[in-house]
Each structure stands twice: as C-alpha cells, then as structure tokens.
Amino acid sequence: MRESWQERFAETPDVLLDARRQRTIVPVLGFAVGGDEFVTMAGPCSVETESQIMATAKHVRRMGARVLRGGAFKPRSSPYAFQGLGLEGLKLLAAAREQTGLAIVTEVMSECDVPLVAEYADILQIGSRSMENYTLLEAAARSGRPILLKRGMMATIADFLRSAQVILDNGNPNLILCERGIRTFETAMRNTFDAAGIALLKQIAHLPVIADPSHAAGHHDLVPALARIGIAAGADGLLVEVHPNPDKAWSDGEQSLDFAEFDAMMAALEPWIALRGMTLHEEMLGQRELAGLRTLEAVG
Ligand code: PEP
Ligand code: MN
C-alpha cells in the first residue's frame, strides 16, 4: 500500500487539506492572500530612512504591490551588523502605509515585542531563524494578526508544518507560509529554493504559500527566475526585496532589486500569473504594461 500524504503528515492534521476543509484565504487590508489575486509583497530588507522607505513604498505600489515589507527588528548573521531601527522603523512603516495604503509586513523576533509590532504591522513575519521558537509562535498567534511564517533554513516540510500547527492550535487561522530557500551542499546560491516544497505544500495544506526568491537566490540577477519558478510551482504571491540603491543598502543589498529591475520583473511575470488563472491588483495593470514596453525597448 502506498502511503498517502495525509498519513505521512498525520501529526499536523489541522494544516492538511481534506474534503471537509476549504482553502484558507487570509484577509488583510482590503485584499486577501490565498484567493484569486496574486499578491506581491515588496520592499527593502531593512527600514533605513524615511526617504528610503517612502520612495520604495510609492514605487512598489505603482507596480502592483499590495504589501510593503521592511525589517525594523533584524535577525542578522553577524552580531556586529545593523540590527534594525526598532520602534522608529515601525513608525516609518506606519507612515508609509498612511501615504500609500499598502499593508505592512515586518518581522517580530521576540515574544516581548509582539504587542508592539502587532500595533504597527498588518502581518507579523516570523523569520527563518525563529520558525521553531514556539514561545514566539504562540505569542504571535495570540495577537490575532495574520502571520507570515517563513520556513526555517534547515527545516523539513514536516518541521514547517509542525510550526504551522502551533499557530493554528493557538487560535489563529490567518496563516501564510513562506518558502525562502533551505541550506543544502550547494553554495553558489545563498540557499536552495525548494520549488518542490511549494508544490507539495499547495497539494497537502490548505494555507496560502508565498515565495521569497530574494533570500533563496542571494543575488539580484537570479531573483526574477526564482520568482517565475515559484509562480509555476503554485505560489499565491511573492515576498521580494527592493531598494532604491541596493549598493548602499544596510542589509541584503546583493539580493535586492533596484526599481528598474523590479519593474522589469513584474512586467515579465504577468503572463505567468495569467497562466495560473490568477488576477492582478487591477489599477496597476496599466503601469505594468508601460513597464513591459520600456523593457522591450531596452532589450530591443
Ligand atoms: C528577511 O525577510 O529579511 C529575513 C531576514 O528573512 P529570513 O528570515 O528568511 O532570513
Ligand atoms: Mn533580508
């Protein structure tokens, strides 16, 4: 007898798709993740300055983003690297929401910070390094805010589903999963983008899945290709790093797209999104067509 996925992942029953359970659609500010609309979340790795976050917010909004990303509390690989602006960063994100109408996703690293971050953010991001911090997962779930749970860089799909189950168990159904690449023996890329993981999650779980090509690629050149692969694998949206001047970024500049690269990527992704039968944020379609034309001119 061949084992079913349901049997294989029986430990996390509430996460699994079955005949009785509808797909989860997560409502955010006037739109939803996991429905018919392809949702783009874009912005810098870290919130740095008012002009940086405002310029980025306005730009990504014009190109169809629904959500502004930006870290105020940053989990850095080096303890000596920039650790984020903290509360000041949250305030800048809220000001950008005020000006653009974009929803805000930002990381919360500690259960002590959950009430503060939940006051400013529309979606709480649990970072790769925190995926198995169950105290944080419980506190974040209980805040009632939608959660974007990033896959741990060394987490199996079963580990990922266990963390998802903890959030559901704590009474929060508004959970979005995010594939951001895992560690393998390959070192050319920062991480190995697990496209099969996205396909599997969409097949076995009822939760929306977002692809983060930036932290998988580690290099801006590869981001559009991984975004395309994520869409083909079934992702409901993208989380992508965009910076006005990546060379000067305070974190993750290597993998951040500049505005022109972001425009070209979004224009190029449009037919792939259409192939999935998904819609795009309507008022943005005209902008994308313009960017598409500009890209064609640049190539031609
Ligand atoms: C980020 O989104 O900037 C980030 C730190 O991501 P991850 O937790 O996937 O490394
Ligand atoms: Mn980053």
Q: Which of 45, 147, 243 to mutate to test the pocket of ligand 1 (most atoms within 8 A of CB)?
A: 45
pLDDT tens per residue, range 23-49: 999 999 999 999 999 999 999 999 999
Kindly state the tokens that stand for 28: 């955010």
Query: Cβ(205)–Cβ(177) under 8 Å?
Result: yes
Instruction: Please check the confidence at residue 284 and state whether its pLDDT lies above 70.
Output: no
In one-letter notation, the amino acid at residue 249 is A
pLDDT over 90 percentage in the chain? 89
d(CA 161, CA 299): 43
Output the pLDDT for position 1. 83
The atom of ligand 1 lying closest to the CA of 71 is 3
Kindly state the tokens that stand for 129: 């390094």
β-strands 175-179, 209-211 pairing: parallel
Mean pLDDT of 290-298: 59
d(CA 168, CA 142): 10
More confident residue, 300 or 129: 129
d(CA 198, CA 240): 16
Q: Which of 106, 108, 147, 180 to mutate to test the pocket of ligand 1 (most atoms within 8 A of CB)?
A: 180
**Distance (Å) from CA 80 to ligand 2 centroid:** 16
Instruction: Please check the confidence at residue 268 and state whether its pLDDT lies above 70.
Output: yes
**Distance (Å) from CA 163 to ligand 1 centroid:** 17
Output the pLDDT for position 136. 98
Instruction: Please check the confidence at residue 285 and state whether its pLDDT lies above 90.
Output: no
Exposure letters 277-290 (e unless 16+ CB within 10 A, then b): ebebbeebeebbee
Query: Cβ(26)–Cβ(175) under 8 Å?
Result: yes
d(CA 128, CA 118): 19
Q: At CA 152, angle to CA 147 and CA 155, rounded to 5?
A: 125
Architecture of domain 5-299: Alpha-Beta Barrel (3.20)
* DSSP code string of 25-90: -EE-SSSEESSSB-EEEEE-SB---HHHHHHHHHHHHHTT-SEEE-BSS---SSTTS----THHHH
Instruction: Please check the confidence at residue 283 and state whether its pLDDT lies above 90.
Output: no
Kindly state the tokens that stand for 151: 């896959």
Name 185's Cβ contacts closer than 8 Å, sequence gap at least 6.
Answer: none
Task: Specify the DSSP element, H or E, that contains 224.
Answer: helix 223-233
Output the pLDDT for position 288. 59
Mean pLDDT of 182-205: 98
Instruction: Please check the confidence at residue 7 and state whether its pLDDT lies above 80.
Output: yes
Name 272's Cβ contacts closer than 8 Å, sequence gap at least 6.
Answer: 228, 231, 232
The atom of ligand 1 lying closest to the CA of 252 is 3
Output the pLDDT for position 75. 86
Instruction: Please check the confidence at residue 297 and state whether its pLDDT lies above 70.
Output: no
In DSSP terms, which residues pair with 71 in a beta bridge? 46
Mean pLDDT of 12-29: 94
State pTM to two decimals: 0.94
- Mean pLDDT computed over every residue of the chain: 94
Mean pLDDT of 185-213: 98
d(CA 264, CA 296): 9
Output the pLDDT for position 245. 98
pLDDT tens per residue, range 230-257: 999 999 999 999 999 999 999 999 999 9
Q: Nearest residue CA, atom 2 of ligand 1?
A: 45
pLDDT tens per residue, range 74-88: 988 888 999 999 999
